[in-house]
Structure 1
Amino acid sequence: MSFTLATWNINSVRLREPIVCKLLEEEGPDVLCLQECKSPVEKIPMERFRALGYSHIVARGQKGYNGVAILSKLPLRDMGAVDYAGLGHARHVAAKLENGVTIHNFYVPAGGDKPDREINEKFGQKLDYLTEMRDAFYAEKPEKSILVGDLNIAPREDDVWNHKQLLKIVSHTPVEVEHLCAAQDAGHWVDVTRQDIPEGLLYSWWSYRARDWSEADKGRRLDHVWATPDISNAAHGSRVLRDARGWEQPSDHAPVFATFDL
């Protein structure tokens, strides 16, 4: 069985329903994981998605904030959600495909503006969230699993447009990278995107603040696809659909793809 998966922080699934449909029509991934849906589950516009062949959904939502959803052409079984750090946020959901692969869809807290938990509660929440992810992976080693989502951290020097300038900017600080890598190591997760594209600058997010985001190209790789070692070698074809950042009324994130032959 071969299937292609995409992950995309959509920044309101209802507002950006047209470009979600555009992606489904033009790219046709078998599974699309969305973050920051900003919608209760019952108000996600599934009618159009079903018309395009995406008849299966596993989601957790809340009004106006957060929210994660897995849309699929393939049957899914809801495997629940974990409220890491006890924030009461819809930031995680898991589903299992019929081939036994479990997909975890995460939306890690952004962390606010100041990388100091003493003065910025949101930064502390982000670090606590990552710590609880780490502890969960230690407690129960994931197998035959894929983890995707907006993890809100660009870990490598070539995951940002300027490593030195961003060392004190939330999403690339050493303490965040350390926490993310600890969670990754705890589950022995393989960074599939960088397995396929091992070298060079690679981004999935460009700020709305840039007048010309593409020309300025001050991006960060905040969106990730990981897999457990037992299936990571089956992954290939990783790419970022950069063009989607320039679609009408876009998200500030671009979709990230990977294909698995299992």
Structure 2
Amino acid sequence: MSFSIATWNINSVRLRMPLVERFLLEKAPDVLCLQETKCPDDQFPSTAFRKLGYQHIVISGQKGYHGVATVARRPIELVEKRDFCTMGDCRHLSVRVTAGDKKVLLHNFYVPAGGDEPDPGINPKFRHKLDFVAEMNAIRADHDATSGSVLVGDLNIAPLEHDVWSHKQLLKVVSHTPVETENFEAMRKAGDWVDLMRLNVPYEQKIYTWWSYRAQDWESSDRGRRLDHVWSSQNLASSFTGYEILREARGWDRPSDHVPVIARFDLE
């Protein structure tokens, strides 16, 4: 049975709902995880999602900032909304969904961006980001014969050399500094997570999911970063059939600076 999960930092779900509608009509993932919804729960456009067949909705939002939401065409059960770093930010939720013979625990994350200065001593936003990633060590890829785990979201770190347009030029730029990338990869490995987007992909192949608004011509300059990720427990990696990065969505009208990533699984 084919099962698909999409992740997308939408940068205001109400502002970009027409783009979400287009995406769902064209790609129809089973589950969509959104980040940076910037919307309190009582103003989330649930009616629009339900009209598109996404009857099952779990949200954790706040006015003007942050926010995550998971919507699905099949039943989902809220497991947790964790408050990382006791900041009161809405940056995580987890749900349980049935796919084939597996109960999948699905984490949806929006990791702090970290500001512009990569020095935790003078930049509290960067300190917050490092502390947040450290707390993510507690999120493990739990699984057994009948269950598995998936973690998706805007994790705001491009960990590998070819996850950015220029490794050398971005070593002192937030999202690709060594302190971020090393702690990020250590956290992923400690949780026994598989980086599905890099599974069976040549090391030197560039992968981007984000292009800055600051670029005059994002497409021709192509100075991207892989900030959005899809991880799974070891037992689901063998069922992973591939992913799609919807690069063209970056050129849609009034786009997010992130594009959707769709992961597909074949689960019996």
RMSD: 1.1
1:161 aligns with 2:165: yes
Give the counterpart of 1:214 among 209, 213, 219.
219
Mean alpha-carbon deviation: is it higher for 44-53 or for 107-116?
A: 44-53
Please show how residues 183-194 of structure 1 align to structure 2 within 5 Å: 183-194=187-198
Give the counterpart of 1:223 among 217, 225, 228.
228
Which residue of structure 2 aligns with residue 146 of structure 1?
A: 150
Q: How many Å separate the matches in 2 of 1:32 and 1:254? A: 13
Q: How many Å separate the matches in 2 of 1:252 and 1:180? A: 22
Q: How many Å separate the matches in 2 of 1:36 and 1:131? A: 21
Do the aligned partners of residues 248 and 172 (structure 1) sit closer, same or farther apart at CA in structure 2, a change above 3 Å counting? same
Which structure 1 residue ranges, 4+ long, deviate > 4 Å from structure 2? Answer: none
Gaps of 5+ in 2: none
1:129 partner letter: F
Give the counterpart of 2:251 among 230, 234, 246.
246
Q: How many Å separate the matches in 1 of 2:186 and 2:40? A: 32
Which residue of structure 1 aligns with residue 103 of structure 2?
A: 100
Q: Aligned to 1:209, what secondary structure does the other structure show?
A: coil
Q: How many residues align?
A: 259
Deviations 1:90-123 (A, max 9, x none): 0000000134101000000000000000110000
Q: Aligned to 1:101, what secondary structure does the other structure show?
A: strand
Do the aligned partners of residues 207 and 141 (structure 1) sit closer, same or farther apart at CA in structure 2, a change above 3 Å counting? closer
Which residue of structure 2 aligns with residue 33 of structure 1?
A: 33
Q: How many Å separate the matches in 1 of 2:187 and 2:28? A: 31
2:166 partner letter: N
Deviations 1:195-245 (A, max 9, x none): 143440110000001011000100000000000101111112212100000
Which residue of structure 1 aligns with residue 184 of structure 2?
A: 180
Q: How many Å separate the matches in 1 of 2:24 and 2:14? A: 15
* C-alpha deviation, 1:142, in angstroms: 2.2
Do the aligned partners of residues 50 and 198 (structure 1) sit closer, same or farther apart at CA in structure 2, a change above 3 Å counting? farther
Contact 2:92 2:107 in 1 (8 A): yes
How high is the TM-score relative to the length of structure 1? 0.96
1:123 aligns with 2:112: no
Q: How many Å separate the matches in 2 of 1:182 and 1:126? A: 15
Do the aligned partners of residues 230 and 88 (structure 1) sit closer, same or farther apart at CA in structure 2, a change above 3 Å counting? same
Q: How many Å separate the matches in 2 of 1:81 and 1:142? A: 17
Q: How many Å separate the matches in 1 of 2:47 and 2:105? A: 25
Contact 1:25 1:52 in 2 (8 A): yes
2:227 partner letter: L
Contact 1:4 1:258 in 2 (8 A): yes
Q: How many Å separate the matches in 2 of 1:239 and 1:197? A: 13
